[in-house]
Amino acid sequence: MHGLIQKDLYSIAGSLKSLLLVMVVFGIIFIPQSGGISFIAVTVFMMSALVISTISMDDFVKWDKYALTLPLSRKDIVKSKYELLIIF
């Protein structure tokens, strides 16, 4: 399970840096205007989109076929995506 989360973190490492920059800009814009509520909403949306992008990357490289040969259940694979979202 830890390896699945680590794989996703490695695959989005480049995007994560630019996403953090965008989050800082949104924080500067939204926090003074609305007290942080809209910043939290935008943050949740962006982090959810990041997890969805890991799913699409896995689909693009056909990682799911390989994952089924590993000693992991499908529940473990799905559970790792939810845990990634919780980490973010």
Nearest CA among 61, 63, 50, 59 for reference residue 3: 63
Rounded to 5°, the CA angle 8-43-27 comes to: 125
pLDDT digits (tens, 9 = 90+) for 24-66: 888 888 777 777 777 788 888 888 888 888 888 888 988 888 8
Structure tokens belonging to residue 55: 């799913």
The reported pTM is 0.73
Average per-residue pLDDT in the chain?
84
Give the Cα separation of 55 and 49 in Å (integer). 10
